Amino acid sequence: MKAFIFPLLFASSLTMAASDAPLQRYQCDEGQSFTLRLTSPDSLELLSGWTFQKLPQVISASGAKYSDGSTTVWLKGQGGFLEVDDVIVANNCTLLSADEPLNPIRATRRLA
Protein backbone atom coordinates (compact mmCIF):
# COMPACT_ATOMS: atom_id res chain seq x y z
CA MET A 1 0.00 0.00 0.00
CA LYS A 2 2.81 2.44 0.87
CA ALA A 3 4.44 1.72 -2.50
CA PHE A 4 1.27 2.96 -4.19
CA ILE A 5 0.66 6.06 -2.05
CA PHE A 6 4.15 7.59 -2.31
CA PRO A 7 4.23 7.83 -6.13
CA LEU A 8 0.71 9.23 -6.07
CA LEU A 9 1.67 11.94 -3.56
CA PHE A 10 4.86 12.73 -5.47
CA ALA A 11 2.97 13.13 -8.76
CA SER A 12 0.38 15.39 -7.16
CA SER A 13 3.12 17.58 -5.65
CA LEU A 14 4.64 18.04 -9.11
CA THR A 15 1.27 19.09 -10.47
CA MET A 16 0.82 21.58 -7.64
CA ALA A 17 4.33 22.98 -8.16
CA ALA A 18 3.51 23.76 -11.79
CA SER A 19 0.24 25.42 -10.86
CA ASP A 20 2.03 27.49 -8.19
CA ALA A 21 4.40 29.00 -10.77
CA PRO A 22 3.90 32.77 -10.97
CA LEU A 23 1.85 34.11 -13.85
CA GLN A 24 3.56 36.40 -16.35
CA ARG A 25 1.42 38.88 -18.25
CA TYR A 26 2.50 40.42 -21.53
CA GLN A 27 0.89 43.64 -22.81
CA CYS A 28 1.02 44.06 -26.58
CA ASP A 29 0.40 46.64 -29.32
CA GLU A 30 -3.23 47.46 -30.05
CA GLY A 31 -4.34 46.37 -26.57
CA GLN A 32 -3.80 42.61 -26.89
CA SER A 33 -2.28 40.68 -24.01
CA PHE A 34 -1.49 37.13 -23.02
CA THR A 35 -0.67 35.37 -19.78
CA LEU A 36 1.62 32.41 -19.23
CA ARG A 37 3.50 30.52 -16.58
CA LEU A 38 6.82 28.73 -16.88
CA THR A 39 6.24 25.19 -15.68
CA SER A 40 9.69 23.77 -16.33
CA PRO A 41 12.92 24.74 -18.11
CA ASP A 42 11.60 23.21 -21.34
CA SER A 43 7.89 24.13 -21.38
CA LEU A 44 5.35 26.78 -20.46
CA GLU A 45 1.59 27.03 -20.19
CA LEU A 46 -0.37 29.70 -22.03
CA LEU A 47 -3.64 30.82 -20.46
CA SER A 48 -6.32 30.19 -23.05
CA GLY A 49 -9.81 30.99 -21.82
CA TRP A 50 -10.12 29.29 -18.43
CA THR A 51 -7.50 26.60 -19.05
CA PHE A 52 -3.78 26.42 -19.61
CA GLN A 53 -2.41 25.15 -22.91
CA LYS A 54 0.98 23.40 -22.58
CA LEU A 55 3.61 24.49 -25.10
CA PRO A 56 6.95 22.64 -25.24
CA GLN A 57 10.12 24.55 -26.04
CA VAL A 58 11.33 24.17 -29.62
CA ILE A 59 14.55 25.16 -31.38
CA SER A 60 14.92 28.86 -32.19
CA ALA A 61 17.69 30.95 -33.66
CA SER A 62 17.29 33.59 -30.97
CA GLY A 63 15.29 33.84 -27.75
CA ALA A 64 13.00 31.13 -26.41
CA LYS A 65 10.30 29.65 -28.61
CA TYR A 66 7.46 27.44 -27.37
CA SER A 67 5.05 25.75 -29.75
CA ASP A 68 2.63 22.88 -30.17
CA GLY A 69 2.63 23.27 -33.97
CA SER A 70 -0.40 25.54 -33.99
CA THR A 71 0.16 28.04 -31.18
CA THR A 72 3.58 29.65 -30.75
CA VAL A 73 4.94 31.98 -28.07
CA TRP A 74 8.30 33.58 -28.81
CA LEU A 75 10.08 35.35 -25.95
CA LYS A 76 13.29 37.37 -25.99
CA GLY A 77 14.37 39.41 -22.98
CA GLN A 78 11.33 41.30 -21.69
CA GLY A 79 9.47 41.06 -25.02
CA GLY A 80 7.70 38.55 -27.20
CA PHE A 81 4.78 37.76 -29.46
CA LEU A 82 1.98 35.23 -29.85
CA GLU A 83 1.20 33.43 -33.10
CA VAL A 84 -1.75 31.14 -33.91
CA ASP A 85 -1.88 29.13 -37.15
CA ASP A 86 1.00 31.17 -38.66
CA VAL A 87 -0.76 34.50 -37.95
CA ILE A 88 0.70 36.90 -35.37
CA VAL A 89 -2.22 37.72 -33.07
CA ALA A 90 -0.27 39.71 -30.46
CA ASN A 91 2.85 41.62 -31.53
CA ASN A 92 5.46 43.80 -29.80
CA CYS A 93 4.53 42.48 -26.37
CA THR A 94 6.27 43.57 -23.17
CA LEU A 95 6.37 41.71 -19.87
CA LEU A 96 4.53 43.66 -17.18
CA SER A 97 6.34 43.92 -13.89
CA ALA A 98 4.85 41.97 -10.99
CA ASP A 99 4.19 45.14 -9.00
CA GLU A 100 2.45 46.95 -11.87
CA PRO A 101 -1.26 47.15 -11.08
CA LEU A 102 -3.80 45.83 -13.53
CA ASN A 103 -6.40 48.33 -14.70
CA PRO A 104 -9.77 47.39 -13.19
CA ILE A 105 -12.87 47.27 -15.34
CA ARG A 106 -15.07 50.19 -14.47
CA ALA A 107 -18.84 50.51 -14.85
CA THR A 108 -19.87 52.69 -17.78
CA ARG A 109 -22.64 54.31 -15.79
CA ARG A 110 -23.02 55.15 -12.15
CA LEU A 111 -25.47 53.22 -10.07
CA ALA A 112 -27.79 55.36 -7.94
pLDDT digits (tens, 9 = 90+) for 40-85: 989 999 998 899 999 999 999 999 999 999 999 999 999 999 999 9
Per this entry, what is the length of the chain?
Answer: 112
Residue 37 domain boundaries: 22-95
13, part of any domain: no
Q: What is the CATH number of the domain that holds 31?
A: 2.40.128.200
> What domain count does the chain have?
1
pTM of structure: 0.69
101, part of any domain: no
53, part of any domain: yes
More confident residue, 10 or 65: 65
